[in-house]
C-alpha cells in the first residue's frame, strides 16, 4: 500500500505536537505548584531572572520552563524586550485559580493515568476492573482541582436555577444528598450558598470521605455531614434534592443507583445528574472534547464501573439518549435536559 506523503507529514506533525503536550504536562504541574503562572499573571512582563527572584527558584530552570511554555503557546514571549508575559486568555486557563476555565487540575489527574498504566494494561488482558481507590492519589486531588472552577461558576448560578422549583426549596431549607461527592467541592459550594438546607455527602472511597470532612471543616460549613456508602445503600429518606456530579457513568449499576435515589426522594423531589457532554453517536463525538473524555473514560471510568457489581460501563461519553434510558429504567417517570455547557449535560429527573 502506497504512503501518501502529505498525509504522512500531517500525521507526524500531529504526533510531534502530542509529544510536546505530553512532555509539558509535568511542567504545568510545577508551574502551578510553585506559583509561576500566578506570579507572571500578576506581575506582568518579566525576565527569567525576575521570575526566579520573585518565586525564590533557580533561574536556569525557570529560563527553560519559560521557553517550554512559550513554545507551547501557554505564555507569550516578547522578542524585542526578551521577557515573558501572559495574555488574558492564558491567565484564565493557567494563572487564575478562580477562573471557570482554570485547567491545571487536569494535568494532576493525567499524572495518575500514566502512573496507573500497568494496572489498566492488565485490565485490558483480563477484562477485570480497577477500583477508583486503587489509582494513584494524584487522581483525587486532580479531579477536585479540575471540576471545582466549573462548579463554582455554574452550580448555583445556572444549573440549579435551571431546575423546576429547586432553588426556592434550597433557600427555604431542603434535605439534600450529594452522591459520589469525592472531596466535596460540589457539596461545600451548595452548603455555603444555601445555609438553611442540610447536606449529606456520600462516597464509597474512604480516603475521599476523610478529605471531604476536612475540606468542610476548613470551609467553616456546619450544615454538612458525610457518609461512607454507595449510591445504592446510602442512608436517609424524604430527600428534597439528590445530586450526581460527573459520577453516574462511573457506577457499576447506575440503574440500581437511580432506583435507590428515587426511593429516597420525596414524591415531589428532584434528582440532578451532571454528566460529561456528549452527542448520541461516536461519529458526533470525534472532536477534541470527545477525545479527552474517551481517553479518561478508557483509563478511569470504564475500569471503575467494571470493578463493581453489574459493571454496565456506560463510559464518559454515554450521551443523553443512553443516560435517559438508564434514568428511566431506574424508575423515574419524568426526565429532561435542563441545560448544558460545552463540557457538561445537566439532567433533571423526578419520581
**pLDDT tens, residue order, the chain (351 aa):** 899 999 999 999 999 999 999 999 999 999 999 999 999 999 999 999 999 999 999 999 999 999 999 999 999 999 999 999 999 999 999 999 999 999 999 999 999 999 999 999 999 999 999 999 999 998 998 999 999 999 999 999 999 999 999 999 999 999 999 999 999 999 999 999 999 999 999 999 999 999 999 999 999 999 999 999 999 999 999 999 999 999 999 999 999 999 999 999 999 999 999 999 999 999 999 999 999 999 999 999 999 999 999 999 999 999 999 999 999 999 999 999 999 998 999 999 999
Residue 60 in grid coordinates: 536556569
Burial of residue 286 (number of CB atoms within 10 Å: 0-12, 13-18, 19+): exposed
Instruction: Return the domain boundaries, the chain.
Output: 5-95, 104-350
CATH for the stretch 5-95: 1.10.10.10
φ/ψ of 157, rounded to 5, equals: -85, -30
**What's the Cα-to-Cα distance from 329 to each of 73, 163, 320, 335, 349, rounded to whole Å?**
46, 21, 14, 11, 12
Which top CATH class is 104-350?
Answer: alpha beta
Find out whether 194 and 170 touch, Cβ atoms under 8 Å: yes
- The pLDDT score that the predictor gives to residue 1 is 82
Find out whether 224 and 178 touch, Cβ atoms under 8 Å: no
**What's the Cα-to-Cα distance from 38 to each of 31, 33, 62, 98, rounded to whole Å?**
9, 10, 14, 11
Angle, helices 254-264/320-329, rounded to nearest 10 degrees:
50
- The pLDDT score that the predictor gives to residue 322 is 95
- The pLDDT score that the predictor gives to residue 125 is 97
198-203 and 175-179 beta bridge pairing? parallel
- The pLDDT score that the predictor gives to residue 302 is 97
Q: Cα–Cα distance between 40 and 46 in angstroms, integer?
A: 7
Amino acid at each position: 500500500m502506497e504512503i501518501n506523503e502529505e498525509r504522512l507529514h500531517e500525521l507526524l506533525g500531529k504526533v510531534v505536537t502530542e509529544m510536546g503536550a505530553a512532555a509539558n504536562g509535568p511542567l504545568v504541574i510545577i508551574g502551578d505548584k510553585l506559583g509561576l503562572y500566578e506570579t507572571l499573571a500578576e506581575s506582568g512582563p518579566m525576565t527569567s531572572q525576575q521570575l526566579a527572584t520573585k518565586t525564590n527558584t533557580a533561574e536556569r530552570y525557570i529560563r527553560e520552563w519559560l521557553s517550554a511554555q512559550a513554545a507551547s503557546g501557554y505564555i507569550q514571549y516578547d522578542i524585542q524586550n526578551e521577557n515573558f508575559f501572559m495574555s488574558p486568555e492564558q491567565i484564565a486557563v493557567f494563572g487564575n485559580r478562580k477562573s471557570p476555565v482554570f485547567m491545571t487540575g487536569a494535568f494532576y489527574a493525567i499524572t495518575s493515568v500514566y502512573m496507573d498504566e500497568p494496572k489498566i494494561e492488565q485490565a485490558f488482558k483480563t477484562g477485570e476492573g480497577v477500583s477508583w481507590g486503587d489509582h494513584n492519589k494524584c487522581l483525587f486531588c486532580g479531579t477536585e482541582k479540575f471540576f471545582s472552577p466549573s462548579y463554582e461558576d455554574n452550580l448555583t448560578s445556572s444549573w440549579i436555577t435551571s431546575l423546576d422549583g429547586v432553588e426556592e426549596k434550597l433557600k427555604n431549607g431542603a434535605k439534600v444528598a450529594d452522591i459520589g461527592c469525592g472531596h466535596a467541592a460540589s457539596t461545600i459550594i451548595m452548603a455555603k450558598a444555601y445555609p438553611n438546607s442540610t447536606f449529606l455527602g456520600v462516597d464509597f472511597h474512604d480516603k475521599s470521605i476523610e478529605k471531604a470532612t476536612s475540606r468542610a471543616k476548613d470551609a467553616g460549613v456546619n450544615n454538612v455531614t458525610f457518609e461512607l456508602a454507595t449510591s445504592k445503600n446510602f442512608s436517609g429518606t424524604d430527600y428534597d434534592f439528590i445530586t450526581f456530579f460527573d459520577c453516574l457513568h462511573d457506577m457499576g449499576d447506575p440503574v440500581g443507583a437511580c432506583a435507590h435515589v428515587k426511593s429516597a426522594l420525596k414524591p415531589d423531589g428532584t434528582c440532578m445528574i451532571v454528566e460529561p457532554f456528549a452527542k448520541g453517536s461516536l461519529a458526533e463525538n470525534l472532536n477534541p472534547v470527545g477525545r479527552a473524555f474517551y481517553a479518561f473514560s478508557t483509563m478511569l471510568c470504564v475500569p471503575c464501573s467494571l470493578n463493581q457489581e453489574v459493571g454496565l460501563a456506560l463510559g464518559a461519553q454515554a450521551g443523553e439518549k443512553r443516560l435517559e434510558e438508564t434514568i428511566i429504567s431506574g424508575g423515574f417517570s419524568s426526565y429532561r435536559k435542563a441545560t448544558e455547557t460545552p463540557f457538561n449535560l445537566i439532567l433533571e429527573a423526578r419520581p
